Amino acid sequence: MHKKFNHAEIEQKWQEAWRDSDLYTTDDSSNKEKVYVLDMFPYPSGEGLHVGHPKGYIATDVYSRFKKMSGYEVLHPMGWDAFGLPAENFAIKNKIHPRDAVEKNIANFKAQLAHLGFNYDWTREINTTDPAYYKWTQWIFLKLLEKGLAYESHEPINWCPSCQTGLANEDLESDGTCERCGSAVEKKPMRQWVLKITDYADRMLADLDTLTQWPEHIKEAQRNWIGRSEGAEITFKLSTGEEVKVFTTRPDTLFGATYLVLAPEHELITELKDTIQNWDEVVRYIVLSKEKSEQDRLNATKEKTGVKLEGITATNPANGEEIPVFIADYVLAGYGTGAIMAVPAHDERDHEFAEKFNLSIKTVVDEAGTLVESSEFNGMNSEEAKAAITAKVGGKMTSTYRLNDWVFSRQRYWGEPIPVIHCEKCGVVPVPEDQLPVTLPDVEHYEPTGTGESPLANIDAWVNVECPKCGGAGKRETNTMPQWAGSSWYYLRFIDPKNDAALIDPEKEKKWAPVDVYVGGDHAVRHLIYARFWHKFLYDLGVVHTIEPFQRLEFLGFILAEDGKKMSKRWGNVINPDDIVKRNGADALRVYEMFMGPFENTIAWSSDGIVGAQRFLERVNGLGGHIVDSDSEEVTRTLHKTIKKVRDDIEAFKFNTAISSMMIFLNVAEKEGVTETTYKIFLTLLAPFAPHLTEELWHEAGESELIHRQSFPEYDAALAKDDVVTIGVQINGKSRGDITIAPDATEEEALAAVRESKSLVERLEKEEIKKIIYKPGKILNLIL
């Protein structure tokens, strides 16, 4: 029976009761086994949540309630990743301090989350923009600096002319535009701080194999991003005496290298100015390729262009042949050594270039993979030849990465100040640890200066300080950290959020780390790469005891708008969870989002679908009207099957089938009636999904303790077993009917059952049974 209920009333009532009972405060001193369940913490945008956002939060809420009921001490916190450009741009536009905007947005987010009944331990709330928090973000930076992993560089970096800040490669769209504003990004040489993430590339790659509870596609995306290539570094001598190092994955083809190509940005080129006979032409080409934005370069028809360096040749170290040298923009400065040996016979790009410039093409590996035209290496297999040829020419086997070091400074206001002082005498001087945090001062204008300096540069009183080393005149670093800094270690701070003496207490770290289940979408590459990098660094410092921060990763699929598009203000298709909570109830929203489909699937919202969840809950609400004195066998069996299914499915994040099995139980329960005991077991089963309604019904049924403090139901395998099963009967492999027998019935019993079935007997009359295949409980196949 459907029985409507006033969801708003019971939601409020129980949310207050839970809060007052400290139900969700994590006990550090507990002896129970720990589970750390974490959501990717949100950026508190001004737009608030839409119904897609809470999907992951609902899942972790279900999971952590389930774990608590199963006897674990659960750490399930929430916080805010609140530095970054959107808050700053919003502040500029509306003339308010980003801090005030963030504060307002957080209040709004918190209220929205509260309406859904989440069990976060708010006593551990953190905010990356809080000086007490970013003190430790700065501390990590100082340690990186101390270990030589943070350095100043003047290399050209990605510069967004509209945001007026430098950007990391990770901040660009695939077409080379700024991910924030879509502007074409330029290359601009400027001073910046860079983190040596490449030092950790091998470990980040290798340790992916230890992450057995991560989705394969995420690990694959990380492998692609790190982009390790194995090959050799080989040195070519130029006719001028200089040397050029090239990286190649095919040193076995060295005998086929018929020319050399340098990237237009290659540093050697200016040094060769006096020798290059066509210098004007070369300069023109360099200027032209610089003017091509990253975007043009990527979108170009890929027709090869380049200029030969007249007056310069190189020597192929394998055969002593003199070969021409080119500059061409199909060779990238930022990869390998910025120079290549071109083997047109065995590389498509080199081949295209060689055809265009009429260069010789020399095949050195035949179709069988055996070397030819390679003097003493002829006949050798190409794999073996790689090391052999490299050794002969004095090169070394090495690897190179697509991943570049992390450009870590931003010329913007709303970020963590980089805790460094520049002194004329002493150079770069770290701010002494006891002077942390270096707090972000208030400024008149948050607008970027456009000069490559952050707005902080204008605050003389803040910028001019004594050098901590010599006491002379020093100037603070005015660049700030990128948005990803605070989120690269926040999961640790929840363990010990108020510690002012250390980033984290070692005892607490040992107790709670690592994160057992990490849930989120998006950020497949960046956040996870950065956090893994910092975590490994902290491991080397002895701050953490595990090599990886996140044991298990559950990646969620988004919820699209009803029209199948992404939910966005722009399309006017945003559905606000507040409206759904008001109309259908928080529990209905929770059940529906978990029931929609597999957790990792991207699925469109359906306003009809949520009515289904609501109906289910109304029927649960009516189940109290079906109480009987004893459970039928079917009810008992279904109950125990359902308990097993729900337990297994929550553990595996298969929430959709868990709910489906509870619907099946309800269908049986309504028909047959259930005992009071069974009714209550069912309520506790459903409690993690529909916490408010089940709490209400639990108390209506006469209980006085909270349902969320009950033990999660256990099942009895014997009771879950069917005493009869219906199995299919096939004749010559085709389904022809079924028989109902005991699951462990003998073949004779099964055949006896067949003889009782009229339709089956008719089919068997004409021919004789040649072979019988009988799998108890599964199938009976008769071959005639």
Partner RNA sequence: GCGCGGGUGGCGUAAUUGGUAGCCGCGCCAGUCUUAGGAACUGGUGGAGUAAUCCGUGGAGGUUCAAGUCCUCUCCCGCGCACCA
Q: Does 212 bind RNA (CB under 7 A)?
A: no
> Is 758 an interacting residue with respect to RNA (CB under 7 A)?
no
Cis peptide before 598 (omega within 30 of 0): no
Using CB under 7 A as the binding rule, whether residue 2 contacts RNA is answered as yes
Nearer to RNA, 258 or 781 (CB): 781
Show the tokens assigned to 734.
């085709």
Stretch that binds RNA, among 48-56, 309-317, 427-435, 772-780 (CB under 7 A): 772-780
Number of alpha carbons in the 13 Å side-chain half-sphere of residue 679:
26
Q: Does 440 bind RNA (CB under 7 A)?
A: no
Euclidean distance between CA atoms 463 and 477, whole angstroms: 8
One symbol per residue from 222 to 251: x for binding RNA (CB under 7 A), - otherwise; what is it? --xx-x-x-x--------------xxxxx-
User: Applying CB under 7 A, which of residues 370, 656, 675, 757 lies at the interface with RNA?
Assistant: 656
Pull the structure tokens for residue 510.
């040992």
Binding-site size, RNA (CB under 7 A): 83
Tokens of 186: 């330029």
Residue 329 within binding range of RNA, rule CB under 7 A: yes
- CA separation for the pair 280, 297 (Å, rounded): 22
Query: If DSSP codes are grouped into helix, strand and coil, which group holds residue 418?
Result: coil
C-beta closer to RNA: residue 518 or 592: 592
Does residue 492 touch RNA according to CB under 7 A? no
Among the listed ranges 18-26, 197-205, 476-484, 652-660, the one in contact with RNA (CB under 7 A) is 652-660
Binder among 726, 748, 758, 768 for RNA (CB under 7 A): 726
Span 567-586, contacts to RNA by CB under 7 A:
583
**Near RNA by CB under 7 A, which window of 73-81, 157-165, 293-301, 447-455?**
293-301
Query: What letters, b where the CB count within 10 A reaches 16 and e where it falls short, cover 50-89?
Result: bbbbbbbbbbbbbbbbbbbbbebbbbbbbbbbbbbbbbbb
Q: Report CA-CA distances (Å) from 558 to 214, 567, 596, 599, 603.
A: 18, 10, 11, 9, 7
Beta-bridged to residue 79, according to DSSP, are 126
Binding-site member from 123, 728, 746, 761 for RNA (CB under 7 A): 728
* Residue placing its CB nearer to RNA in the complex, 709 or 721: 721
459, 446 Cβ separation under 8 angstroms? no
Q: Are 728 and 738 in contact (CB under 8 A)?
A: yes
Q: At what angle do helices 633-651 and 655-672 cross, to 10 degrees?
A: 170
d(CA 687, CA 692): 8
**Subset of residues 107 to 136 that bind RNA, contact rule: CB under 7 A:** none
331 binds RNA (CB under 7 A): yes
CB 178, CB 208: distance < 8 Å: no
Q: Which is nearer to RNA, 48 or 609 (CB)?
A: 609
Residue 774, Cβ neighbours under 10 Å: how many?
Answer: 17
220 scored as a contact of RNA (CB under 7 A): yes
- Who's near 558: CB < 8 A, 6+ residues apart? 52, 55, 521, 566, 602
Q: Is 196 in the site for RNA (CB under 7 A)?
A: no
Q: Which two tokens stand for residue 653?
A: 């994040």
Beta strands 559-560 and 603-604: pairing type?
parallel
Residue 735 in contact with RNA, rule: CB under 7 A: yes
Residues 6+ apart with CB under 8 A from 607: 562
Give the HSE-up count for residue 401: Cα atoms under 13 Å, Cβ half-sphere.
18
| C-beta closer to RNA: residue 471 or 728 | 728
Judge whether 585 and 7 are in contact, CB under 8 Å.
yes
Q: Which of 469, 390, 392 is nearest to 435 (CA)?
A: 469
Rule CB under 7 A: choose which of 397, 473, 724, 783 binds RNA. 783
Under the binding rule (CB under 7 A), the answer on residue 738 touching RNA is: yes
DSSP labels, 480-548: B--TTTGGGTHHHHTTSTT-SSSSS-HHHHHHH-SEEEEEESS-TTHHHHHHHHHHHHHHHHTS-S-S-
Nearest alpha carbon to residue 421 among 409, 429, 413: 429
Nearest residue to 482 (alpha-carbon basis) of 536, 526, 532, 433: 526
Window 443-482: contact mask with RNA (x via CB under 7 A): ----------------------------------------
Stretch 632-651: interaction string toward RNA, x if CB under 7 A:
--------------------
- 347 contributes a contact to RNA by CB under 7 A: yes
> What is the closest distance, in whole angstroms, from the C-beta atom of residue 517 to RNA in the complex?
19
Count of CB atoms situated within 10 Å of the CB of 522: 11
φ and ψ at 307, to 5 degrees?
Answer: -135, 135
Q: Pick the closer one to RNA by CB: 429 or 560.
A: 560
If one asks whether residue 206 binds RNA (CB under 7 A), the answer comes out as no
Q: Which residue has the tokens 């910046």?
A: 192
Is there binding between residue 525 and RNA (CB under 7 A)? yes
Helices 7-20 and 691-700 pack at an angle, to 10 degrees, of 90
Among 174, 212, 358, 704, binds RNA (CB under 7 A): 174
* Minimum CB distance to RNA smaller for 172 or for 283: 172
CB closer to RNA, 766 vs 775: 775
Q: Which range, of 203-211, 341-349, 529-537, 680-688, touches RNA by CB under 7 A? A: 341-349
What separation, in Å, do the N-terminal and C-terminal C-alpha atoms of the chain show? 50
Q: Does 349 bind RNA (CB under 7 A)?
A: yes
Site for RNA in 32-91 (CB under 7 A): none
Other residues' Cβ atoms within 10 Å of the Cβ of residue 384: 12
Could you list the beta-strand ranges (E) of 593-680: 603-604
Nearer to RNA, 85 or 580 (CB): 580
Draw the binding track, 249-288, toward RNA (x: CB under 7 A; -: no contact): xx------------x-------------------------
Considering only residues 603, 628, 706, 720, which one is a binding residue for RNA as defined by CB under 7 A? 603
Q: Which is nearer to RNA, 134 or 689 (CB)?
A: 689
Query: From the list 601, 630, 677, 746, which residue makes contact with RNA (rule: CB under 7 A)?
Result: 601
Q: Is 298 in the site for RNA (CB under 7 A)?
A: yes
Q: Is 217 in the site for RNA (CB under 7 A)?
A: yes
Cβ of residue 305: shortest distance to RNA, in angstroms?
7
Q: Which stretch binds RNA (CB under 7 A): 92-100, 276-284, 630-638, 725-733?
A: 725-733
Instruction: Scan residues 368-407 and list those touching RNA (CB under 7 A).
Output: 400, 402
Q: Please report whether residue 558 would count as binding RNA according to CB under 7 A.
A: no
Restricting to residues 659-688, name those near RNA by CB under 7 A. Answer: 659-660, 663-664, 667
Contact pick of 132, 426, 547, 611 for RNA (by CB under 7 A) = 611
Question: What is the amino acid identity at position 45?
Answer: S
Instruction: Check the annotation: does 569 bind a ligand.
Output: yes
| Minimum gap (Å) between residue 363 Cβ and RNA | 16
C-beta closer to RNA: residue 110 or 228: 228
- Which residues, numbered 299-328, are part of the site for RNA (CB under 7 A)? 300, 302, 304-305
Contacting range for RNA; rule: CB under 7 A; set: 294-302, 490-498, 531-539, 542-550? 294-302
Minimum gap (Å) between residue 577 Cβ and RNA: 14
- Return the residue of 122, 151, 279, 335 that touches RNA, per CB under 7 A: 335
CB of 186 to RNA, least distance (A): 16
554, β-bridge pairs = 519
Report the C-alpha gap between 155 and 248 in whole angstroms: 23
**Nearest Cα to Cα of residue 358 among 313, 326, 318, 333:** 326
Annotated binding-site residues read: 569
Give binding residues for ATP as ranges: 569
